[in-house]
Amino acid sequence: MTRIRDYENAGAKFTHDANGVLRSTLDLALTELPSDEESVVTTPRGYKAEGLMFEDDVKVCGISIAVNPEAQKGLAQVLRTSLPYDAKYGEILVQEDAKGGNKIAKATLPEDLDGHEVLLLLPELASVSQIDKVIHLLMQQGVEEDKITVVTLVTCPEGADGFCKAFDDARLVTASFDSRLNSEGHIVPGIGSFEERYLGAPSSVVDVVDEAVESSKEENALKAKITSKISSWFKKD
């Protein structure tokens, strides 16, 4: 995550690093799906090995969410190189509304999602309004809420808390749980504008406002409070 946060990391290197963390986070999300803890397989040399495998009836669908169609292509490829061989895939293009949320511009979904575990790949989650319309659309298509997992690089207390209040049974898996939102609605410390950087745009450091300077003095204490409350934002079995 540190390399992704660094504003000097740009172009193909940023895309490579971001894809690596996204794949690792997807791997973590897959471990949350129903699995058989007593799976035994036979190796090509005839030895027995115990481990975890999905239960026989587990079906997986990965759906990438983006504003820019070119970013969508990259995220879709991350899903295809991370999820099981027989997984289904969908794509949702969204548009940002005036309130900072997302509305669905175009949805390309598999015809039959009944019984599927659906993983939604959304690189940043600052507010539940970025994802709520997508989840409601899936539920209208017959996907059960407890079979929906949102996978993100970074979120914050405001985003995670809003998500868990809106959706009791859906899951949220993140690579980083950051401190807060600033007055402009950006995650702090965050990763900047993900899609712009993902498509190769260089980053620059913006002037730090007084609010950020003052609040930065309280970052460590705030993170400690977040850590102590994390169970209230993330569902545990």
Per-residue pLDDT tens for 198-229? 998 877 776 555 454 445 555 545 544 444 43
More confident residue, 90 or 226: 90
The 10 Å Cβ neighbour count of residue 195 is 17
What contacts 119, CB < 8 A, 6 or more positions away? 26, 29, 30, 60, 61, 62, 63, 79, 83, 149, 151
- The pLDDT value recorded for residue 95 is 92
The structure tokens listed for 94 are 């969204």
AA identity, residue 131: I
Listed in order, strand segments (DSSP E) in 43-170 are 48-54, 59-66, 88-96, 102-108, 116-121, 124-125, 148-155
AA identity, residue 86: D
- For the chain, list the domains and their CATH numbers: 2-40+49-232 (3.40.50.2020)
- The pLDDT value recorded for residue 9 is 93
- The pLDDT value recorded for residue 208 is 57
The CA-based angle 183-188-193, given to 5 degrees, is 90
More confident residue, 224 or 33: 33
| Nearest one of 56, 55, 118, 128 to 90, comparing CA atoms | 118
User: Could you report how far apart the first and last alpha carbons of the chain are, in Å?
Assistant: 27
CA distance 11 to 6: 12
Residue 205 DSSP label: P
* pLDDT single digits (tens) 43-59: 999 999 988 888 878 99
| Nearest one of 85, 112, 93, 92 to 30, comparing CA atoms | 85
